[in-house]
Structure 1
Amino acid sequence: MKFTINKDSVTTDTSFGNLSVSTNEEEGYRPFQLFIASLAGCSGTLLRTILTKKRMDVDHMEILADYVRNPEESNRFEEIHFTAYVQTGHTLTEKQAERISQLVLTNCGMIQSVLSSIEITFKIQLADAKHPLQEK
Structure 2
Amino acid sequence: MKFTIHEESITTRTTFGNLSVSTNEEIGYRPFQLFIASLAGCSGTLLRTILTKKRMDVAHMEILADYVRNPEEANRFKEIHFTAYVQTVHTLTEKQAERISQLVLDHCGMIQSVMSSMEITFEVQLVDEKYLSQGK
| Common topology (TM > 0.5) | yes
Listed as ranges, the matches of 1:36-115 within 5 Å are 36-115=36-115
Aligned to 1:30: 30
Q: TM-score, normalised by structure 1?
A: 0.97
Distance 1:85 1:25 in 2: 28
Count of residue correspondences: 136
Over aligned residues, Cα RMSD in angstroms? 1.1
Cα 1:112–1:134 change in 2 (3 A) is farther
Kindly report structure 1 stretches of 4+ aligned residues shifted beyond 2 Å. 129-136
Distance 1:62 1:73 in 2: 31
Distance 2:83 2:17 in 1: 29
Partner-residue secondary structure (3-state), 1:61: strand
| AA of the residue aligned to 1:50 | I
Deviation track 1:46-71 (CA, whole Å, cap 9, x = no partner) reads: 00000000000000000000000000
Aligned to 1:20: 20
Confirm or deny: 8 A CA contact 1:85 1:134 kept in the other structure.
no
Deviation track 1:69-97 (CA, whole Å, cap 9, x = no partner) reads: 00010000000000000000100110000
Partner-residue secondary structure (3-state), 1:116: helix
| Structure 1 or 2: more helix by fraction | 2
Distance 1:20 1:13 in 2: 9
Deviation track 1:97-127 (CA, whole Å, cap 9, x = no partner) reads: 0000000000000000000001000000001
Partner-residue secondary structure (3-state), 2:132: coil
Gaps in structure 2 of 5+ consecutive residues? none
Gaps in structure 1 of 5+ consecutive residues? none
| AA of the residue aligned to 1:40 | A
Q: Percent identity?
A: 83
The alpha carbon displacement at 1:130 in A equals 4.3
Distance 1:118 1:51 in 2: 27
| AA of the residue aligned to 2:58 | V
Cα 1:23–1:89 change in 2 (3 A) is same
